[in-house]
C-alpha cells in the first residue's frame, strides 16, 4: 500500500514545530492520565501489561521452585495452590488477552490505517482504566486471602472455598469489559476510519488479525462476564445454579466457562499471527506469500473457535455425541492454522533475510507454535485426551502456544515497533542474545513437561511421585533460564529508552503506513494524509537503505 | 502376589510407577490402552515429521537466502506470490491426517465409554482428599482405600463425589473420569497385567489434591475372590478401637484430623473425648459419645470454633458398628 | 488485493505520491487538520472524524455492537433459565404462582410506552423540535421511574414473604393461600393442603435441619399420604406440585428445595434488567440536559438515536422476561 514517501516531511509543520511528537506534545501526569491519544493509551497499556507479566513471571518462578522437590520445598500446599492460580489468572486475564491488541494494537492500528485515532478515544481510555480497576481487584484478592481455585474457577470448589474468590472473579469480570471495549473500538475503527483507497484486501494482516480478534472479544466475552457474575451470586446468596448441594449443575459452569475461554485462546494467538505476518515479509524483503489465505484463515479460526469449547470436557461426563462433534470441529481448526504456518515459511523462500531481533522472535514463534499446535491436536484426539487431560501434557501444550507463541510474538512485535513507538533504537546484539536465551529457556522449561504429562503426572500437583523429580528439575532450570532471558531483554529495552540512538523513520524497511510517519509519530500521526495505492506488502524494491540515517528511504 | 497383600496391610504408602518399555507412556495394563497407544505413536511420528520439516525449511531458507547486510540493498528474487495448487495441497494433506486421527480417536473414545454388559461393578467414592472403594461381601459390604480388581475381567467403576469435583485417573489403564457431586459417572477397564498401579486425582480439589492418591491392585487369575473373602472377613470381625483405627485411614478422616494433637483441616482427635469444646456460636460443649456420633452424622449441627464447617456428613457411609469403632478409637487417644 | 503485478504498483508509488483520494471513493479529502471548514461548521464533530456522517456511522456501528454484547450477556442467563426449566419444569410452574402477573403486565405497558416516546424523541431531535423532544424525554424518564417503583413494590412483597434466592429462601406464605393458585387449580389446592400439614410435621421433627433443606429422611413419613390416583395426578402435574419424572407423593419434597433456584433466577434476571433501566434513566437525564442546551439538530442527533436504541433493547429484554417468568405454563 504504502509508498513510504519522503515528501511527507515537506508538509506543513504542526503548530509546535517539526520535532513535536506525541511523547513531547504535552507534559505532566495529567496529560498522560487523561489523554485520549491512542498512542499514549497504548504506551500506558504496554507498561501495565509488562509489569503484570513480571508479576505473573515471579509467581511462575515460585511455582517452579516449589516443584524442585516432591513435598515441601519452600511453601505449603495452600500457598502453592494460590500461586499457580494467581500465575494463571494474571497471565491470562491481565497479560496475554490485552497484551497484543490493547498495547501494540492501540499504538499501531490507527497508524496502519492512516487514521488520526481510534473511533472512540474516550472508550479507549475507559477500557484502560477498567484494566487498572480489574488489576486492583486481582491484587486485592492477592494481598488478602488469595484465590486458590485455579484460573478456571470450577464450581463447586469456587463456590465453597474459604479464600477470596470474589475479588478475583470481579477482577476478571471487569477485565472482560475492558476487553470488550477494546474490541468494539477496533471493529468500528477498521470499518469506518480506513483511508480512501484502502480496501479490506489492502489492509495489513495485523489489522486483519486485530479485526478477527475483536470479533471474538465482542462475541465471547459477555458470556464469561455473566458466568462469573452468576458464580459470585452463587457464592454470596447460594443461587443454586452451579453448586449441586443447592440443586445446581457444576458441568453447566464448565460449559459456560469454556464457551468463552476457548475462543479466548484465539484472542491470545490471532493477534500474534498478525505480528508475525508483519515481521516476516519485512525481514525477508519480500511480499508475503498467500496474503488472502492468511487473512481469511484468521476469520475462519475466529469462527470455528466458537464451536469447540467441549474439547476441554471430554472427561466431564458430557455425552459421547457432544464430545464427538467438539472433537471433529477442533481438528478443522488445524487446517487454517496449517495454511498460515506454511505461507509464512514460504514467504522466506528466495527472500533476502535479515536476522534482526524481531525476525528471530518470529522464527522462534514459527517453530515453537508448530509444536504447541501439534500437541493441541494430540489433545483433540478424544481417546488420547482421556489419558492426557489435566496432566502436565496440557500444561506444556498451552505454554508452548501461549508463552512460546503469543508472548514470543509479543516480544517480536515489541522490538519491531519499539523504534516507531519511542523513537529510540535498542541494542541489536543484546536483543538477539535475549531472544536466544528465551528460546532455549522456553524449550528447556516446557519440553520436559510433555514427557511428565504423558507419563501420567497430573497438573496442579504440589506433591509428586519421586520418579518425576528429574524432569521437574530440568523444567525448573529452564524457568530460571527464561527469567534471565527476560531480565536481559527488559534491561536492554530500558536502556534503549533512556539513551538509545534516535530511530529513523523506517529502520527495517517496512512499507505499511506507520513507517511513513516520523518516529515517534506526531500527535496527529501524519503530517499529510498517506495515500493508499497498493497492497500492504508491495514495493520493498522501492526502498533503499541509507547508512547515514540507519534506515530506509524511498529510491530516487 | 502375596507381597502385594502384605503391602496392603502396612501403612498407606506412595504408589510406585511400574517401569515401562515406552519412553513416553506408562506401562500399559488394560485392553483399551492398545487402541490409544498406537494412535499416540502415530501422532508422535506425524509431529516429528512436521516439526522437523518446518525446522529444516526455516533453517535452509535462513542460510541460503541470508542477506549480506542492509547496506548491500539486495532485492528479493522474483517468485510467485501465491500458488493455489500449493495452498490446496498443504491444506488437504493435514486434513486427511486429521480425519484419520478423528476417526481413531473416536473409536478409542467409544471403547472407553461403553462398558461390556457383563462388567463387574465397583463403586468409587471421592471426597476431599481420599478415594474409597466399596466391595460387596457375602453379607453386606466392605470399604477399602485401595482398588482391587481381577485380571482379564471387565470392571465398571461407578464414581461419585460428596464435595467438589475430583477425577479418577489410572494412567496405566489410560482412563480417567471426573467425579461430579450430585451425579454418578462411570468408567471401565479390563486389566491385562497383574500388578500394582497408581491412581491419581486429576481434577483440582483443593489443599491436598496432590495427596489424593491410591493404587489399583490387579490380582492374577482366581486370586481376587480369595482376597475379597479374606478382606470381608477381616473387616467384619474387626471391632472396637481396631476397627476405628482402620476406618480412620480408610474413610479419609486422617486427611483432616490428626491423632497427635496438631490441628489440620479439623481439630485433632488427641485428648478429644471428655474435653470441653467451644462451639462457633460461643457455647461450650462436653465431648461425649452422643456428640461424637452427631459430629459424624450431621457435622454442621455443631461446629467447633476456629474451624470451617467443611466436614462432609458420613450418614449412610458408616454403620453403627463403624461409629462405635470410631468412638472407641477416639477414646484411646489420650 | 489489487491485482496488477508488483512492478506497475511500484512504478505508481515511486513516481508521484498522489496527494489524496487517489482511488476516489467520492470521499472528501482526508483530514486537513488546520482550518478545515467541515470541522469549523460542526462543533460536535470530533477531530479524528472527517464528516458528521462518518461520526454518526461510527457511533451507530458502535452502539449496535454494544447491544450485541448486551444480548449475549443476557443470553447466558436465558441459557441457565432454559436448562433449569427443562430439568425441573414442575418447580417453575409451582414457583411462578408467587409472582404478580398484574404488576408484571403493568410494567410491560409502561415500558412499551416509554419505547414509543423514545423513538419519537429521535424524530424530534432530527427535526429540531425542541419542545416535543424535551417532553418525550421527560415522559420516557417518568415511565422508567414508574417501572422501577413497581419493581420496588414487587421486590418488597417478595422480601416480606421470605421469597428470596438461595440460603434466604424461607417462604412465609403457603402456596394454597395464594388466590391465583386456588383459582386455577381448585382440585390441586386440596391435595396441596395435605402436603402442607405433612411439611409442618416434618419441620417439627429434626432439629438441625432448618439451616439446610437437606435431603432424605422424609421418605418414610411421606407414606402417610395415599398415592394419588391417575385423575388426581393430572391437576397436580399441571400445577407443578409433582414432577413428571417422580410421580410418587414424596416428590413434592423437591419442590421447595428447588424453588429457591427459580427465585434466584428471577431476582438475578429482573435485577440485572432493573440495573439496566437505572443506567438508562441516568443516560436519559444526561440527554435531557444536552437537549435543553439545544444541541441536537439534523446534523447532530446521534446520542439521542443511540440512547433510544439502547432503550429499545432494555424494553425488548423485558418483553422476553415477562412471559418467561410470570406467564409460565
Ligand atoms: C494461545 C492459546 C492456545 C492455542 C492457540 C491453542 C490451540 C489449540 N488447542 Fe489448546 N489450550 C490452551 C491454549 C491454546 N490452545 C489452553 C490455555 C488450554 C488449557 C486450559 C486449562 O485447562 O487450563 C488448552 C487446552 C486444550 C485442550 C484440552 C485439553 C484438556 O484439558 O484435556 C485441547 C483439546 O482438544 C486443545 C486443543 C487445541 C488445538 C487443536 C489447537 C489448534 O488451534 C492448534 C492448531 C495448530 C497446529 C495444528 C499447528 C500448525 C499446523 C501444521 C504445522 C500443519 C500440520 C498439522 C497436522 C498434520 C495436524 N487445547
Ligand atoms: C500467558 C500465559 C502464561 C505464561 C506466559 C506462563 C509462563 C510460565 N508458566 Fe504458566 N500457566 C499459565 C499461563 C502462563 N504461564 C496458566 C493459564 C496456567 C494454569 C493455571 C491453573 O492451573 O489454574 C499455568 C500454570 C503453570 C504451571 C503449572 C502449575 C500446576 O499445574 O501445578 C507451571 C509449572 O511449571 C507454570 C510455569 C510457567 C513458567 C515457568 C513460565 C515462564 O515462561 C515465565 C517466565 C517469566 C518470567 C520469569 C518473568 C521475568 C520477567 C521479568 C524479569 C521482567 C520482564 C519485563 C520485560 C520483558 C519488559 N505455569
Ligand atoms: Cu481430589 Cu483432586
Ligand atoms: Cu480449547
- pLDDT tens-digit map of C47-68: 778 888 888 888 889 999 999 9
| Span A384-412, pLDDT tens digits | 999 999 999 999 999 999 999 999 999 99
Q: Is the CB of B204 under 6 A from ligand 3?
A: yes
State the pLDDT confidence band at C76, using cuts at 50, 70 and 90.
confident
Residues ≥6 apart with Cβ < 8 Å to A108: A42, A206, A417, A420, A514
Residues ≥6 apart with Cβ < 8 Å to C289: none
Classify the C-alpha dihedral C234-C236-C240-C244 as positive or negative.
Answer: negative
The answer to whether the bond into A156 is cis (omega within 30° of 0) is yes
State the pLDDT confidence band at C20, using cuts at 50, 70 and 90.
very low
Nearest by Cα to B180 from A239, A251, A391: A251
Contacts of A404 in chain B (CB under 8 A): none
The answer to whether the bond into A520 is cis (omega within 30° of 0) is yes
CA–chain centroid gap for A382, Å, is: 28
Are A511 and B76 spatial neighbours (Cβ–Cβ below 8 Å)?
no
| Residue C119, pLDDT above cutoff 80 | yes
Contact C166 A526 (CB under 8 A): no
Q: How far apart are CA C308 and CA C302, in angstroms?
A: 10
**Test mutation, C3, C4, C13, chain A, max A CBs within 10 A:** C13
pLDDT of A420 reads: 92
C184: which 3 cell numbers?
386455577
**Test mutation, A383, A390, A466, A546, chain B, max B CBs within 10 A:** A383
| Span A463-492, pLDDT tens digits | 999 989 999 999 999 999 999 999 999 999
Question: Regarding predicted confidence, which is higher, A141 or C7?
Answer: A141
When pLDDT is averaged across residues A242-248 and rounded to a whole number, the result is 80
pLDDT of C185 reads: 65
DSSP A159-193: HH-SS-HHHHHHHHHHHHHHHHHHHHHHHHHHHH-
When pLDDT is averaged across residues C207-225 and rounded to a whole number, the result is 40
Please give the share of chain C, as a percent, with pLDDT higher than 70. Answer: 60
Give the number of the atom of ligand 2 that is nearest the alpha carbon of residue A475. Answer: 35
| Residue A441, pLDDT above cutoff 50 | yes
When pLDDT is averaged across residues B133-161 and rounded to a whole number, the result is 88
Q: Is the CB of B201 under 6 A from ligand 3?
A: yes
Contacts of B35 in chain A (CB under 8 A): 383
Please give the share of chain B, as a percent, with pLDDT higher than 90. Answer: 35
Question: Regarding predicted confidence, which is higher, C164 or C112?
Answer: C112
Contact C207 B300 (CB under 8 A): no
Select from A66, A87, A152, A368 the residue to mutate for testing ligand 2; criterion: most ligand atoms less than 8 Å from CB.
A87
Whether the predicted model's global pTM rises above the 0.90 cut: no
- E strands in A356-416: none
Q: Which helix (H) or strand (E) holds A48?
A: helix A38-66
C112: which 3 cell numbers?
412499551
- E strands in A235-303: none
| Residue B229, pLDDT above cutoff 70 | yes
Nearest by Cα to A102 from A399, A359, A362, A410: A410
When pLDDT is averaged across residues A64-80 and rounded to a whole number, the result is 92
| Residue A495, pLDDT above cutoff 60 | yes
Using N-to-C axis directions, what is the helix angle for A38-66 and A77-89, rounded to 10°? 150
pLDDT of C32 reads: 40
Question: Regarding predicted confidence, which is higher, B38 or B76?
Answer: B38
Select from A224, A337, A373 the residue to mutate for testing ligand 1; criterion: most ligand atoms less than 8 Å from CB.
A373
| Residue C209, pLDDT above cutoff 50 | no
- Give chains near B: 3+ CB pairs under 8 A: A, C
Q: How far apart are CA C250 and CA C246, in angstroms?
A: 9
Classify the C-alpha dihedral B151-B154-B157-B158 as positive or negative.
Answer: negative
| Residue A439, pLDDT above cutoff 90 | yes
Contact A187 C13 (CB under 8 A): no
Place of cell 420516557: C140
**Window from A14-23, B222-231, C237-246 with minimum mean pLDDT:** C237-246
Q: How far apart are CA A526 and CA A25, in angstroms?
A: 14
Question: Regarding predicted confidence, which is higher, B32 or A491?
Answer: A491
Question: Which residue of chain A has the CA closest to C54?
Answer: A192
State the pLDDT confidence band at C184, using cuts at 50, 70 and 90.
low
Are A397 and A369 spatial neighbours (Cβ–Cβ below 8 Å)?
no
Instruction: Give B149's strand partners.
Output: B218
Instruction: Give B124's strand partners.
Output: B133, B159
pLDDT of A356 reads: 93
| Span B56-93, pLDDT tens digits | 999 999 999 888 888 888 887 777 777 888 888 888 99
pLDDT of C180 reads: 64
Mean pLDDT of chain A: 90
Contact B87 A290 (CB under 8 A): yes
| Partner residue opposite A156 with nearest CB, options B74, B164, B209 | B164
The ligand placed nearest to the CA atom of residue B210 is 3
| Residue A46, pLDDT above cutoff 60 | yes
pLDDT of A151 reads: 94
Are A372 and B34 spatial neighbours (Cβ–Cβ below 8 Å)?
no
pLDDT of C37 reads: 73
Q: Does A294 touch chain C (CB under 8 A)?
A: no
DSSP C13-82: HHH----S-SS--SPPPS---TT-HHHHH-TTS-TT-SSHHHHHHHHHHHHHHHHHHHHHHHHHHHHHHH
pLDDT of C17 reads: 36
pLDDT of A497 reads: 92
Q: Does B27 touch chain A (CB under 8 A)?
A: no
Residue positions counted in chain B: 334
pLDDT of C231 reads: 63
Nearest by Cα to A116 from C55, C48, C44: C48
Q: Does A36 touch chain C (CB under 8 A)?
A: no
End-to-end CA distance of chain C: 56
Are A281 and A347 spatial neighbours (Cβ–Cβ below 8 Å)?
yes
Q: How far apart are CA A550 and CA A501, in angstroms?
A: 10
B positions 63-92 inside 8 Å of A (CB): 65-67, 70-71, 73-83, 86-87, 90-91
A positions 47-86 inside 8 Å of B (CB): 77-78, 81
Q: b/e map of A13-29 (b: 16 or more CB within 10 Å)?
A: ebeeeeeebbbebeeee
Residues ≥6 apart with Cβ < 8 Å to A179: A97, A98, A102, A127, A217, A221, A267
| Partner residue opposite C69 with nearest CB, options A222, A227, A247 | A222
User: Chain C closest CA to B183's CA: distance in Å?
Assistant: 14
pLDDT of C13 reads: 37
Tell how far the Cα of A397 is from the centroid of ligand 1, in angstroms. Answer: 7
pLDDT of C66 reads: 93
| Phi, psi of A531, deg, nearest 5 | -80, 145
**Test mutation, B14, B38, B95, B101, chain A, max A CBs within 10 A:** B101
How large is the C-alpha radius of gyration of chain C?
29
When pLDDT is averaged across residues C146-153 and rounded to a whole number, the result is 91
Please give the share of chain A, as a percent, with pLDDT higher than 90. Answer: 67
**Window from A240-244, A302-306, B45-49 with minimum mean pLDDT:** A240-244
Contact A542 C18 (CB under 8 A): no
Query: A349 — alpha (psi -120 to 50), left (phi > 0) or beta?
Result: beta
Q: How far apart are CA A304 and CA A328, in angstroms?
A: 11
Are A156 and A243 spatial neighbours (Cβ–Cβ below 8 Å)?
yes
**Test mutation, B79, B301, B309, B314, chain C, max C CBs within 10 A:** B301
| Residue A435, pLDDT above cutoff 80 | yes
Q: How far apart are CA B220 and CA A127, in angstroms?
A: 65
| Residue B322, pLDDT above cutoff 70 | yes
The ligand placed nearest to the CA atom of residue A452 is 2
A positions 377-416 inside 8 Å of B (CB): 377-378, 380-387, 389-391
pLDDT of B5 reads: 40
Q: b/e map of B245-258 (b: 16 or more CB within 10 Å)?
A: bbbbebbbbbbbbb
pLDDT of C210 reads: 36
Q: Which helix (H) or strand (E) holds A122?
A: helix A121-143
| Partner residue opposite A533 with nearest CB, options C13, C47, C260 | C13
B17: which 3 cell numbers?
510407577
When pLDDT is averaged across residues A78-101 and rounded to a whole number, the result is 94
Q: Tell me, what DSSP letter sits at residue C300?
A: B
Q: Where are the alpha helices (DSSP H) in chain B?
A: 2-9, 31-64, 84-113, 223-237, 240-250, 289-297, 320-332
Mean pLDDT of chain C: 72
When pLDDT is averaged across residues C304-310 and rounded to a whole number, the result is 93
Q: Is the CB of B205 under 6 A from ligand 3?
A: yes
Query: B274 — alpha (psi -120 to 50), left (phi > 0) or beta?
Result: left
Nearest by Cα to B63 from A348, A508, A347: A348
The ligand placed nearest to the CA atom of residue A311 is 1
Max CA-CA distance within chain C?
Answer: 99
| Span A321-343, pLDDT tens digits | 999 999 999 999 999 999 999 99
Contact B24 A335 (CB under 8 A): no
Are C239 and C93 spatial neighbours (Cβ–Cβ below 8 Å)?
yes
Nearest by Cα to A404 from A309, A269, A261, A305: A269
Are B207 and A78 spatial neighbours (Cβ–Cβ below 8 Å)?
yes
Contact B300 C211 (CB under 8 A): yes
User: Chain B closest CA to C212's CA: distance in Å?
Assistant: 10
**Window from A295-299, A351-355, B105-109, B314-318 with minimum mean pLDDT:** B314-318
Amino acid at each position: 500500500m504504502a509508498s513510504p514517501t519522503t515528501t511527507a516531511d515537506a508538509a506543513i509543520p504542526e503548530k509546535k514545530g517539526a520535532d513535536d511528537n506525541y511523547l513531547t506534545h504535552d507534559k505532566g501526569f495529567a496529560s498522560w492520565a487523561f489523554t485520549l491519544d491512542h498512542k499514549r493509551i497504548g504506551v500506558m497499556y504496554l507498561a501495565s501489561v509488562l509489569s503484570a507479566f513480571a508479576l505473573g513471571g515471579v509467581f511462575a518462578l515460585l511455582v517452579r521452585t516449589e516443584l524442585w522437590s516432591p513435598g515441601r520445598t519452600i511453601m505449603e500446599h495452600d500457598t502453592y495452590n494460590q500461586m499457580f492460580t494467581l500465575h494463571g489468572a494474571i497471565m491470562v486475564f491481565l497479560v496475554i488477552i490485552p497484551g497484543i491488541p490493547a498495547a501494540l494494537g492501540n499504538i499501531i492500528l490507527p497508524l496502519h490505517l492512516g487514521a488520526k485515532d481510534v473511533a472512540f478515544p474516550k472508550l479507549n481510555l475507559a477500557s484502560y482504566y477498567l484494566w487498572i480497576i480489574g488489576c486492583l481487584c486481582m491484587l486485592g484478592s492477592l494481598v488478602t486471602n488469595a484465590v486458590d481455585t485455579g484460573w478456571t474457577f470450577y464450581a463447586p470448589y469456587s463456590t465453597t472455598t474459604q479464600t477470596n474468590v470474589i475479588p478475583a472473579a470481579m477482577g476478571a469480570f471487569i477485565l472482560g469489559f475492558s476487553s470488550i471495549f477494546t474490541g468494539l473500538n477496533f471493529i468500528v475503527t477498521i470499518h469506518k476510519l480506513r483511508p480512501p483507497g484502502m480496501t479490506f484486501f489492502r489492509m495489513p494482516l495485523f489489522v486483519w488479525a486485530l479485526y478477527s480478534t475483536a470479533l471474538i472479544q465482542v462475541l465471547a466475552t459477555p458470556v464469561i462476564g455473566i458466568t462469573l457474575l452468576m458464580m459470585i451470586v452463587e457464592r454470596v446468596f447460594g443461587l443454586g445454579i452451579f453448586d449441586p448441594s443447592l440443586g445446581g449443575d457444576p458441568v453447566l459452569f464448565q460449559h459456560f466457562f469454556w464457551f468463552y475461554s476457548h475462543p479466548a485462546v484465539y484472542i491470545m494467538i490471532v493477534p500474534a499471527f498478525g505480528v508475525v505476518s508483519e515481521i516476516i515479509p519485512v525481514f525477508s524483503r519480500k511480499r508475503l506469500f498467500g496474503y488472502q489465505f492468511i487473512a481469511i484463515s484468521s476469520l475462519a479460526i475466529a469462527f470455528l473457535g466458537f464451536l469447540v469449547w467441549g474439547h476441554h470436557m471430554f472427561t466431564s461426563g458430557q455425552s459421547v455425541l457432544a464430545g464427538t462433534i467438539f472433537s471433529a470441529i477442533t481438528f478443522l481448526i488445524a487446517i487454517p492454522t496449517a495454511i498460515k504456518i506454511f505461507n509464512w515459511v514460504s514467504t522466506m523462500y528466495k527472500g533476502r533475510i535479515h536476522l534482526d531481533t524481531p525476525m528471530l522472535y518470529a522464527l522462534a514463534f514459527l517453530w515453537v507454535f508448530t509444536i504447541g499446535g501439534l500437541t493441541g491436536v494430540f489433545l483433540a484426539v478424544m481417546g488420547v485426551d482421556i489419558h492426557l487431560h489435566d496432566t502436565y501434557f496440557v500444561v506444556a501444550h498451552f505454554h508452548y502456544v501461549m508463552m512460546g507463541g503469543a508472548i514470543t510474538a509479543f516480544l517480536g512485535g515489541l522490538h519491531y515497533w519499539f523504534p516507531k513507538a519511542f523513537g529510540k533504537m535498542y541494542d541489536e546484539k543484546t536483543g538477539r542474545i535475549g531472544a536466544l536465551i528465551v528460546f532455549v529457556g522456553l524449550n528447556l522449561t516446557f519440553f520436559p513437561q510433555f514427557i511428565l504429562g504423558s507419563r501420567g503426572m497430573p497438573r496442579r500437583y504440589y506433591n509428586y511421585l519421586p520418579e518425576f523429580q528429574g524432569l521437574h528439575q530440568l523444567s525448573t532450570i529452564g524457568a530460571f533460564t527464561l527469567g534471565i532471558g527476560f531480565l536481559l531483554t527488559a534491561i536492554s529495552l530500558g536502556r534503549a529508552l533512556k539513551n538509545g540512538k534516535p530511530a529513523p523513520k523506517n529502520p527495517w524497511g517496512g512499507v505499511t503506513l506507520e513507517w511513513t510517519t516520523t518516529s515517534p509519530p506526531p500527535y496527529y500521526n501524519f503530517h499529510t494524509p498517506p495515500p493508499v495505492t497498493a497492497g500492504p506488502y508491495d514495493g520493498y524494491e522501492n526502498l533503499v537503505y541509507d547508512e547515514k540515517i540507519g534506515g530506509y528511504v524511498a529510491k530516487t | 502376589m502375596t507381597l502385594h497383600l502384605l503391602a496392603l496391610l502396612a501403612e498407606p504408602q506412595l504408589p510406585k510407577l511400574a517401569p515401562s518399555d515406552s519412553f513416553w507412556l506408562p506401562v500399559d495394563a488394560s485392553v483399551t490402552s492398545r487402541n490409544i497407544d498406537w494412535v499416540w505413536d502415530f501422532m508422535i511420528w506425524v509431529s516429528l515429521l512436521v516439526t522437523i520439516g518446518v525446522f529444516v525449511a526455516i533453517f535452509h531458507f535462513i542460510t541460503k537466502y541470508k542477506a549480506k547486510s542492509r547496506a548491500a540493498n539486495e532485492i528479493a528474487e522474483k517468485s510467485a506470490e501465491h500458488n493455489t495448487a500449493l495452498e490446496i495441497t498443504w491444506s488437504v494433506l493435514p486434513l486427511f491426517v486429521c480425519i484419520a486421527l478423528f476417526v481413531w480417536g473416536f473409536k478409542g473414545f467409544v471403547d472407553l465409554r461403553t462398558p461390556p454388559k457383563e462388567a463387574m461393578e465397583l463403586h468409587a467414592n471421592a471426597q476431599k482428599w481420599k478415594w474409597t472403594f466399596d466391595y460387596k461381601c457375602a453379607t453386606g459390604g466392605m470399604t477399602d482405600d485401595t482398588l482391587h480388581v481381577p485380571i482379564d475381567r471387565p470392571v465398571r467403576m461407578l464414581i461419585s463425589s460428596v464435595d467438589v469435583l475430583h477425577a479418577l485417573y489410572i494412567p496405566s489403564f489410560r482412563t480417567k473420569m471426573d467425579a461430579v457431586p450430585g451425579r454418578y459417572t462411570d468408567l471401565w477397564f479390563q486389566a491385562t497385567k497383574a500388578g500394582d498401579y497408581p491412581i491419581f486425582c486429576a481434577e483440582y480439589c483443593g489443599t491436598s489434591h496432590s495427596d489424593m492418591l491410591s493404587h489399583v491392585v490387579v490380582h492374577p487369575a482366581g486370586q481376587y475372590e480369595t482376597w475379597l473373602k479374606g478382606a470381608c472377613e477381616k473387616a467384619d470381625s474387626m471391632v472396637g478401637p481396631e476397627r476405628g483405627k482402620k476406618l480412620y485411614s480408610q474413610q479419609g478422616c486422617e486427611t483432616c484430623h490428626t491423632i497427635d494433637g496438631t490441628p489440620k483441616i479439623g481439630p485433632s482427635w488427641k485428648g478429644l473425648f471428655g474435653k470441653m469444646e467451644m462451639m462457633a456460636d460461643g457455647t461450650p460443649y462436653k465431648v461425649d459419645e452422643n456428640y461424637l456420633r452427631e459430629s459424624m452424622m450431621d457435622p454442621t449441627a455443631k461446629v467447633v470454633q476456629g474451624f470451617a464447617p467443611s466436614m462432609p456428613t458420613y450418614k449412610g457411609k458408616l454403620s453403627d458398628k463403624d461409629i462405635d469403632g470410631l468412638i472407641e478409637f477416639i477414646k484411646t487417644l489420650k | 488485493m489489487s491485482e496488477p503485478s508488483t512492478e506497475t504498483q511500484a512504478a505508481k508509488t515511486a513516481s508521484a505520491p498522489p496527494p489524496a483520494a487517489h482511488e476516489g471513493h467520492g470521499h472528501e479529502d482526508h483530514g486537513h487538520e488546520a482550518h478545515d471548514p467541515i470541522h469549523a461548521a460542526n462543533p460536535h464533530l470530533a477531530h479524528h472524524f472527517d464528516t458528521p456522517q462518518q461520526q454518526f456511522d461510527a457511533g451507530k456501528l458502535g452502539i449496535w455492537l454494544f447491544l450485541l454484547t448486551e444480548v449475549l450477556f443476557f443470553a447466558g442467563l436465558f441459557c441457565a433459565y432454559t436448562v433449569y426449566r427443562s430439568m425441573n419444569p414442575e418447580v417453575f410452574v409451582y414457583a411462578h404462582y408467587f409472582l404478580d402477573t398484574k404488576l408484571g403486565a403493568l410494567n410491560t405497558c409502561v415500558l412499551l410506552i416509554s419505547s414509543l416516546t423514545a423513538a419519537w424523541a429521535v424524530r424530534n431531535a432530527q427535526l429540531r423540535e425542541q419542545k416535543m423532544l424535551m417532553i418525550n424525554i421527560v415522559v420516557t424518564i417518568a415511565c422508567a421511574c414508574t417501572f422501577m417503583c413497581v419493581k420496588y413494590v414487587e421486590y418488597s412483597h417478595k422480601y416480606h414473604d421470605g421469597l428470596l434466592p438461595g440460603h434466604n429462601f424461607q417462604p412465609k406464605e403457603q402456596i394454597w393461600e395464594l388466590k391465583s393458585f386456588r383459582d386455577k387449580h381448585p382440585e390441586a389446592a386440596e391435595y396441596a393442603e395435605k402436603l402442607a400439614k405433612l411439611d409442618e410435621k416434618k419441620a417439627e421433627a429434626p432439629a438441625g435441619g432448618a439451616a439446610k433443606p437437606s435431603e432424605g429422611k422424609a421418605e418414610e413419613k411421606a407414606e402417610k399420604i395415599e398415592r394419588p390416583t391417575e385423575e388426581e395426578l393430572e391437576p397436580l402435574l399441571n400445577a407443578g406440585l409433582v414432577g413428571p419424572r417422580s410421580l410418587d407423593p414424596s416428590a413434592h419434597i423437591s419442590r421447595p428445595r428447588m424453588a429457591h433456584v427459580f427465585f434466584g433466577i428471577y431476582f438475578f434476571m429482573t435485577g440485572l434488567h432493573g440495573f439496566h433501566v437505572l443506567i438508562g434513566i441516568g443516560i436519559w437525564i444526561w440527554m435531557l440536559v444536552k437537549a435543553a442546551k439545544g444541541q441536537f439538530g439534523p446534523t447532530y442527533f446521534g446520542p439521542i438515536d443511540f440512547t433510544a436504541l439502547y432503550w429499545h433493547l432494555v424494553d425488548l429484554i423485558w418483553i422476553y422476561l415477562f412471559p418467561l417468568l410470570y406467564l409460565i405454563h
